[in-house]
């Protein structure tokens, strides 16, 4: 009974603005089922603004049929699978490679190289990179950048190579930094700003008497929503009838929320929207906005609004 509404026109508009602002190629990141929102639906919504899509694994691009749905290629950011050349070719997915044998095996699929500038995971060291470039006939090099020093390291390394390379580094966190845009940007989280609303109805309302629930919390009035751990919910903020309220206790499939005397059965409890953003919720969870979005959308039935 958790309700996740996804405003596709807002996601398109976010992408269009990023493309217009940066003026470079746009490769939206739709890994992890587009952060729980549905790879195929998000890819289709962005088909006319994206130059291509980033996924983590080949299988994600195949499952969502990105090439046939959008006519745009994909780049798989995670570890390459050297025995699946034909599938990379058929589905128009380019692998990311980090070693000579894999680059050689997948040369025909136009691999990109992921250069280590600090991430130290699924990356190729700058010293080994020239041999991998040679083996895979590579024309595109990217890195994971969270700070300008990562971008600078990529550019300095590229400048010392004897060939022209397409470079990219920026995810959402670096979009405010023009020097990080290079030849393409790879936003994930930033595509979904203002585009997701998650709600659930109050299915019980009570005047509290003494300790309540498993944990024995005390409050004046409490309500119950049919959303729990199974939906990825944790304790923290919510809003009811525009007022900020607390999620007081979470169980497997239900949660207790604080309510006022004006809140009625059937009223909607907002768990995430424009005013209660993944970034704010992440603070009370001690987590990242990406985890919040994925956690609350992953298992839910989604409603797509144009
Ligand atoms: C996930 C990912 C991104 C997108 O990150 P956001 O912070 O969600 O924008 C970009 N690049 C790489 C390599 C990634 O793994």
Element (H, E) at 100: helix 100-105
Q: Residue 136: which H helix or E strand, with range? A: helix 129-136
168, 186 Cβ separation under 8 angstroms: yes
The DSSP symbol for 210 reads S
Q: pLDDT band for position 162 (50/70/90)?
A: confident
Helix (H) or strand (E) holding 74: strand 74-79
3-state secondary structure of 217: strand
Q: Is 36 left (phi over 0), alpha (psi -120 to 50) or beta?
A: left
Per-residue three-class SS string for 268-301: EEEEEECCECHHHHHHHHCCCHHHHHHHHHCCCC
- The binding-site residues of ligand 1, defined as CB within 6 angstroms of any ligand atom, are 29, 31, 77, 144, 171-173, 186-190, 290
For the record, the structure tokens of 56 come out as 């983590």
pLDDT higher than threshold 90 for residue 213: yes
pLDDT (average), residues 252-267: 98
CA distance linking residue 115 with residue 270, whole number of Å: 42
**Chain mean pLDDT for the chain:** 97
- 112 contacts: CB under 8 Å, gap ≥ 6: 75, 94, 95, 96, 97, 138, 140, 141, 142
Q: Whose CA is nearest to atom 13 of ligand 1?
A: 144
Q: Please tell me whether residue 151 adopts helix, strand or coil conformation.
A: helix
Given this model, what pLDDT does residue 184 score? 98
Cα(188) to centroid(ligand 1), Å: 6
**In this predicted model, what pLDDT tens digit does every residue of 54-65 receive, in sequence order?**
999 999 999 999
Could you tell me the pTM of the whole model?
0.95
Q: Are 35 and 207 in contact (CB under 8 A)?
A: no
Q: Give CA–CA dist 131/211, Å, rounded.
A: 67
Ligand 1 atom closest to Cα of residue 191 = 9
Q: If you take atom 10 of ligand 1, which residue's CA is the nearest one?
A: 171
Element (H, E) at 42: helix 39-46
Return the pLDDT at 115.
Answer: 98
Substitution site in 119, 186, 294 for ligand 1 pocket (most atoms within 8 Å of beta carbon):
186
In this predicted model, what pLDDT tens digit does every residue of 36-88 receive, in sequence order? Answer: 999 999 999 999 999 999 999 999 999 999 999 999 999 999 999 999 999 99
Q: Which atom of ligand 1 is nearest to the CA of 31?
A: 1
C-beta of residue 258 within 8 angstroms of C-beta of residue 221: yes
Structure tokens at 177: 């930094």
- State yes or no: pLDDT of 178 exceeds 90: yes
State the pLDDT at residue 1.
85
The residues near 296 (Cβ < 8 Å, ≥ 6 apart) are 2, 4, 36, 198, 231, 232, 233, 271, 272
**206 phi and psi, to 5 degrees?**
-140, 150
Give 171 Cα–ligand 1 centroid separation in angstroms: 5
β-strand 112-114 against 93-97: which pairing, if any? parallel
User: To test the ligand 1 pocket, which listed residue (29, 42, 144, 184) has its Cβ within 8 A of the most ligand atoms?
Assistant: 29
What is the distance in A from the centroid of ligand 1 to the CA of 87? 24
pLDDT at residue 53, as a whole number: 99
- The pLDDT > 90 percentage for the chain reads 99
Q: Ligand 1 mean position to 290 CA, how many Å?
A: 10
Contact 237, 246 (CB under 8 A): yes
- Confirm if 224 and 247 have CB atoms less than 8 A apart: no
* Residue 172 CA, closest ligand 1 atom number: 9
Instruction: Describe the crossing of helices 39-46 and 8-22 by its angle, rounded to 10 degrees.
Output: 50
| β partners of residue 225 | 255
Q: What backbone phi and psi angles, to 5 degrees, belong to 67? A: -60, -45
- Which among 123, 188, 278 is the best mutation to test ligand 1's pocket, defined by most ligand atoms within 8 Å of the CB? 188
Residue nearest to atom 6 of ligand 1 (CA): 188
């Amino acid at each position: 009974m958790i309700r996740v509404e996804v405003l596709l026109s807002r996601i398109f508009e976010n992408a269009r603005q990023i493309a217009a602002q940066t003026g470079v190629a746009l490769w939206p990141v739709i890994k992890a089922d587009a952060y729980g929102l549905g790879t195929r639906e998000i890819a289709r919504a962005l088909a006319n603004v994206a130059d291509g899509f980033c996924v983590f694994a080949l299988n994600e691009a195949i499952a969502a049929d990105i090439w046939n749905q959008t006519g745009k290629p994909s780049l798989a950011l995670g570890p390459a699978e050297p025995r699946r050349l034909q599938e990379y070719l058929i589905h128009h997915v380019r692998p990311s490679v980090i070693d000579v044998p894999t680059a050689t095996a997948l040369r025909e699929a136009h691999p990109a190289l992921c250069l280590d500038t600090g991430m130290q995971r699924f990356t190729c060291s700058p010293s080994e990179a020239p041999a991998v470039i040679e083996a895979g006939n590579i024309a595109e090099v990217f890195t994971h950048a969270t700070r300008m020093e990562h971008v600078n390291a990529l550019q300095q390394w590229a400048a010392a190579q004897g060939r022209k390379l397409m470079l990219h580094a920026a995810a959402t966190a670096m979009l405010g930094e023009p020097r990080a845009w290079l030849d393409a940007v790879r936003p994930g989280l930033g595509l979904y700003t203002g585009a997701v609303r998650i709600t659930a109805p109050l299915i019980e309302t009570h005047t509290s008497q003494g300790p309540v629930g498993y944990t024995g919390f005390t409050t004046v009035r409490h309500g119950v929503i049919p959303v729990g751990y199974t939906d990825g919910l944790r304790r923290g903020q919510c809003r009811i009838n525009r007022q900020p309220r607390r999620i007081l206790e979470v169980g497997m499939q239900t949660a207790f929320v604080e309510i006022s005397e004006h809140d009625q059965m059937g009223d909607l409890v907002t768990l995430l929207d424009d005013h209660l953003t993944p970034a704010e919720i992440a603070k009370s969870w001690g987590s990242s906005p990406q985890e919040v979005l994925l956690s609350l959308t992953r298992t839910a039935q989604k409603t797509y609004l144009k």
